[in-house]
Structure 1
């Protein structure tokens, strides 16, 4: 595992020299001491309930230089295929980033870990062949800005792999989810929004959806079923 710093980035990766590492006035400050620990426990439980297979499907066939934005605990790292060359994983939340670094140390790949928010990715334009978003778009502060950054750092024809929970396509559950968001659910859940239509946001950002599978997933007993989508989108060159 390589932990990136500004100095190492100038030599190890194409680096947007006019864009320093994200600071509080340049990108959202992310710190959720309690929620990050609860989330880390849920990751292991979710994997036992089938999310591990979903992660494997999400990453199958990836090649080239790959960026995973908001990599959390690093649960995806074990599933990256051999065809991936450079693998960079960002995570702005300190506790989760510590777990990500531990997972990166155990990975046979040279995973480069960076503290950066999705809304301000400190990489040059056209740097990566693929970007991975896994349970990220629900909690970023600005979806449009984050997806614009993803589009910017992807090479022409680049691929976006995404696994997100999204608003239900059934009217009553969708109303409940959006009401919960307005009532303050994001404030007590580490920024997570239940009622976001992240697939529509991906399309609005200029991506073409090539494949998308919708399914319900939950972590009992308290987690209600949520619609998830695993898919592939392409940035047309």
Structure 2
């Protein structure tokens, strides 16, 4: 807990300064580069590198994950924000996988039932209006036995840190400006949505990219349909 507080005060001012100076899109690109250098690259590669077939990525942002898909993946990526989506289109041009970027939101996916072999999301369920509704949409568009791959930060299980995250979440929402909640109970939401969880890996990365050292979970699950 003490380390997390020290990390916040050490890196918070610099992160806030970069956000103001760079603008949201360039800041997000810079954040992804810094996070990858601090350990996220390995996590993203392990999350996405072995996926094959038709993949749906939710909340593609500026396309930071695209480089980690393998050559046998055919990716449809959705991103609701125009500026982020334009950056993602450019990132897709340099990816190994075939990637198509289109507008869309996780709570109301513009696809027929049982369309995809897998759905992936990285730091997305923290920002959607309803994680449960979004996960229900994942179930709908996945083929039977389809995979879900999630890299998400979650509410701390620590007896003090968890309640503090709940208390301070309204302030965090005002600071981050992208609708990111840091106290989502994502593992519980995945289970409640009916997915069969195959594995959960726990990490905490003290990255220069963010003042908050979130508990991170890599969740690999399959559709129960």
Band of TM-score, shorter chain: 0.7 to 0.9
Q: What is aligned with 2:78?
A: 90
Q: What is aligned with 1:187?
A: 174
Following superposition, the deviation at residue 36 of structure 1 comes to: 4.6
Equivalent pair of 2:106/2:137 in contact (CA under 8 Å): yes
Equivalent pair of 2:29/2:64 in contact (CA under 8 Å): no
Following superposition, the deviation at residue 186 of structure 1 comes to: 1.8
1:131 aligns with 2:119: yes
| Per-residue CA distance 1:132-183 (angstroms, 9 max, x = gap) | 01110011111111111111100111100010000111011111111111x3
* 1:123-162 correspondence to structure 2 within 5 Å: 123-162=111-150
1:175 aligns with 2:163: yes
Equivalent pair of 1:180/1:194 in contact (CA under 8 Å): no
**How large is the RMSD of aligned CA atoms in angstroms?**
1.7
Indicate the SS of the match to 1:54: helix
Equivalent pair of 2:53/2:117 in contact (CA under 8 Å): yes
Equivalent pair of 1:90/1:115 in contact (CA under 8 Å): yes
* 1:13-162 correspondence to structure 2 within 5 Å: 35-84=24-73, 86-162=74-150
Q: What is aligned with 2:212?
A: 224
TM-score by length of 1: 0.81
Following superposition, the deviation at residue 106 of structure 1 comes to: 1.8
Point out the more displaced range, 116-125 or 72-81.
Answer: 72-81
Distance verdict in 2 for CA 1:125–1:221, change over 3 Å: closer
Following superposition, the deviation at residue 225 of structure 1 comes to: 1.6
**Structure 2 runs not aligned, ≥5 long:** 1-21
Structure 1 segments, 4+ long, off by >4 Å, are 33-37
- CA distance in 1 between counterparts of 2:106 and 2:206 reads 25
1:214 aligns with 2:184: no
Following superposition, the deviation at residue 185 of structure 1 comes to: 2.1
Distance verdict in 2 for CA 1:132–1:97, change over 3 Å: same
Following superposition, the deviation at residue 221 of structure 1 comes to: 8.0
- CA distance in 2 between counterparts of 1:77 and 1:121 reads 20
Equivalent pair of 1:40/1:96 in contact (CA under 8 Å): no
- CA distance in 1 between counterparts of 2:188 and 2:71 reads 31
TM-score by length of 2: 0.85
Distance verdict in 2 for CA 1:122–1:133, change over 3 Å: same
- CA distance in 1 between counterparts of 2:142 and 2:221 reads 12
